Structure 1
Amino acid sequence: MSAGFWRAAVVVGVALALWAAFEWGVPRQGSLVELPPLPALRPNQRLAQAQHLFPNDWIGPESFAFDEQDRMYAGLADGRIVRWDGASERYELFARTGEDLPECGTYEARRATPTHQYTLEGRSAADTRWCAEPRCGRPLGMKFDAHKRLIVADAYQGLLSFSPAGDERRVLVAGSELTFPNDMAVLPGEEGTLLFTDSTHKHRRRDVMLEVLDMGGNGRLLAYHPANGSLEVVLADLHFPNGVCLHADGDSLLINELTLFRVIRYYFRGSKRGQVEVFADNLPGTPDNIRRMHSTGHYLIGVGAKRTQPFALLNSLSPYPRLRDLVAFLLPRRWASWLDENGKVLEGYHDPAGRTAWISEAEEWKGHLYMGSFTNPFLARIKIDDEQH
């Protein structure tokens, strides 16, 4: 090729580099996370066999709780909390965390640009629905306390408490005091302290992918003390703290750090009180919620965006804020995984075709594994057998 061609190529390359620096931002030093090679896991088709229950009705069943009568409670994208006995084809409305609006619960609105203003004037129908989410409410993690009240972390409304009948709603911590309340655990004991994650102080849930791609230590673990209504910061500078689960020892809490692909263990009592250690590292994808299987003692993790080697998308794009925005909704989710009692990654539930994707939580219930999602328009279920243990 001629020298003129190469000169033109250099000019174009420099121009593109300058445009990229202006448009997407200069790379930020220190934002990359060095990750070890991925663990080798045997692929399978288990997740591909899942049944889809309540299609186009249960939109985004993110998380579950179970009462003393062994009924399932699920929080949906439109702000509803529904209750189901697992046997019939019918369920009932238990409560709502926000307003009942026609715009609630439509997830196609995620196409709205991350930097848009959240006003209704001049918006498309999709944008209007997305803007309405803070008013509709978005229930995420939920647990029952010792008084049989359902405690719900709503991404916008805050930390809420519902009576057993669902007809009384109390605000424990207002949404204005938090940015992204996510998941919780009720500590054993008479006081019933709630430990819950506030995933980030920078972005609300509707801009969740900006936080994922930011990869910063913007999150916290908080404690709510019911006896006096006080709120305490337990841990800070966490990297998208997401799902939490009590460890079997009763003295520690497992916390998923989504953007570091790991699970940490925080000791809230005992000889190691206040200490933090890594429980599971180098996970095959972004961990969402974590729950313990009653039958085996293993820990189930809803795995979000799958990691690939040698090119790690989240890691490589983290210095470029504007470029991250363009790919924020292109990450595939089609995996659930489990850990043993020592944090070792065992196997998982895979769906290479992506028919059952975007898994947020997996719960063992009545001989089946039920899988939630923040976006799927159904509740996924597969039968548990000995081979899957």
Structure 2
Amino acid sequence: MVRRRIHPRRWTPPRLADPGATGTLRVARRLPTGGHGPEDVVFDRRGRILCGLADGRIVRLDPAGGEPTVLADTGGRPLGLHPCADGSVLVCDHDRGLLKAHPDGTVEQLAAVPFASNVVQAADGTIWFTASTTAWTLDDHLGDVFEHSCTGRLFRRDTDGAVTTVLDGLKFANGLVLAPDESHLLIAETTGYRIRRHWLTGPRAGSTEILVENLAGFPDNMSLGGDGLLWVGIAAPRDALLDRLLPLPGVLRTLLWNLPAAIRPKAVPIAWAMAFTLDGAPVHDLRAADGSYGFVTSAASHDGTVVLGSLTESDVAIVHISL
């Protein structure tokens, strides 16, 4: 099979300086989703877990156990979710863009943006959402990792339905969090190994800065925990070979990309979540390499319960933390 061609961009990543884990994760329980690939996990106001599955369904899980409840079917591939006060759920769907799943199960399309990734809503109804890349799809997202296309975007959808591109050129824009006082947004740039802050109010409104940089892994979805911490799912550790090749002529990455999948670099199977203060200070770096769970694409915390979601697992994991 001929693999799709990449168009590599050169970038010099920061030198990897991994301080190591501050604690470990242990899967205490698994919550079956009734499907596969709970890519984003979020808690609703009642402490129930919401996630979207590869077959298009949005399901709700009780942390105590029991059968999943199907809330809606997007007809696409739901990724990031945001529960609303009225019982509806905002959905970033890879295939259909920004959606709203209503309490009666009907689904409304709000913006047709490909590879919509994560979403939040302000008190006045303004919606902010990311799109990871214009160059690749979810199935071949590794192409963007090798290419480093820098085509991620941040959008704003106003209450009148107008959609505006706020930021572009992002390095695989992913997780999105709105600060409790709505003064700024936090944006994960997966292939930039960093988290940005984009100011919405105050003297720096409209400006963007780096909050956390030189992460040792690929940050994915993010959530604000009840503990006030920014929880980040880390999909995989950085690859040393890829880091060495990124600053070099693109032909080397092209050669690597065209190798058979069995011998190309691949994600290390690790369960990994981090937590930071909203000022970017690290609080937790929690890892488990025992193979019990892997490719963590989201982490969320509520009332002391930490859950993980994954693009490649079928269950949501409730984890025990040892510090």
TM range (shorter): 0.7 to 0.9
Are positions 1:145 and 2:78 aligned together?
A: no
Q: 1:162 aligns with which of 84, 95, 101?
A: 101
CA contact (8 A) 1:150 1:163 kept: yes
* Distance in 2 (alpha carbons) for counterparts of 1:155 and 1:26: 21
Alignment partner of 1:205: what SS? coil
* Distance in 1 (alpha carbons) for counterparts of 2:65 and 2:231: 26
* Distance in 1 (alpha carbons) for counterparts of 2:45 and 2:317: 23
Match of 2:20 in 1: 41
Match of 1:130 in 2: none
Match of 1:187 in 2: 122
Question: Structure 1 residue runs of 4+, over 3 Å off?
Answer: 23-28, 65-70, 145-148, 325-329
Are positions 1:70 and 2:47 aligned together?
A: yes
* Distance in 2 (alpha carbons) for counterparts of 1:239 and 1:333: 23
Q: 2:192 aligns with which of 247, 260, 266?
A: 260
Q: CA deviation at 1:312?
A: 4.1
* Distance in 1 (alpha carbons) for counterparts of 2:224 and 2:244: 29
Q: CA deviation at 1:148?
A: 3.3
- Residues 137-173 of structure 1, C-alpha deviation per residue, up to 9 Å, x if partnerless? 110111123543211010001111121232x221111
* Distance in 2 (alpha carbons) for counterparts of 1:26 and 1:234: 27
State the AA in 1 paired with 2:145: V
Among the aligned pairs, what percent are the same residue? Answer: 30
Match of 1:223 in 2: 156
Q: CA deviation at 1:366?
A: 4.5
Alignment partner of 1:206: what SS? coil
Are positions 1:207 and 2:101 aligned together?
A: no
- Residues 193-217 of structure 1, C-alpha deviation per residue, up to 9 Å, x if partnerless? 1111111111122211111221121
Match of 1:53 in 2: 31
CA contact (8 A) 1:180 1:198 kept: yes
* Distance in 1 (alpha carbons) for counterparts of 2:182 and 2:283: 23
CA contact (8 A) 2:31 2:65 kept: no
Q: CA deviation at 1:24?
A: 11
State the AA in 2 paired with 1:148: G
CA contact (8 A) 2:42 2:223 kept: no
Match of 2:131 in 1: 198
- Residues 250-296 of structure 1, C-alpha deviation per residue, up to 9 Å, x if partnerless? 2100000111100000012222110100000011100001112212x
Q: Please give the root-mean-square deviation of Cα atoms over the aligned residues, in Å.
A: 2.5
* Distance in 2 (alpha carbons) for counterparts of 1:235 and 1:24: 27
Are positions 1:304 and 2:235 aligned together?
A: yes
Gap change, CA 1:36 and 1:317, over 3 Å in 2: closer
* Distance in 1 (alpha carbons) for counterparts of 2:213 and 2:201: 23
Matches within 5 A, 1:275-286: 275-286=207-218
Q: CA deviation at 1:322?
A: 4.6
* Distance in 1 (alpha carbons) for counterparts of 2:168 and 2:6: 27
Q: 1:316 aligns with which of 245, 249, 259?
A: 245
Alignment partner of 1:210: what SS? helix
More helix by share: 1
CA contact (8 A) 2:135 2:149 kept: no
Q: CA deviation at 1:179?
A: 2.3
* Structure-2-length-normalised TM-score: 0.88
CA contact (8 A) 1:333 1:359 kept: no
More strand by share: 2
State the AA in 1 paired with 2:25: L
Match of 2:110 in 1: 172
**Larger RCO (alpha carbons 8 Å, 6+ apart):** 2
Q: Which deviates more from structure 2 when the two are superposed, residues 321-330 or residues 204-213?
A: 321-330
Question: In the comparison of the two structures, how many residue pairs are matched?
Answer: 313
Are positions 1:232 and 2:171 aligned together?
A: no
* Structure-1-length-normalised TM-score: 0.74
Matches within 5 A, 1:338-349: 338-349=275-286
Q: CA deviation at 1:25?
A: 8.7
State the AA in 1 paired with 2:299: A
- Residues 108-159 of structure 1, C-alpha deviation per residue, up to 9 Å, x if partnerless? xxxxxxxxxxxxxxxxxxxxxxxxxxxxx11011112354321101000111
CA contact (8 A) 1:50 1:356 kept: no
For structure 1, list consecutive stretches of 5 or more residues without a partner in the other structure: 1-22, 99-136
Gap change, CA 1:90 and 1:202, over 3 Å in 2: same
Q: CA deviation at 1:67?
A: 3.5
Gap change, CA 1:336 and 1:69, over 3 Å in 2: closer
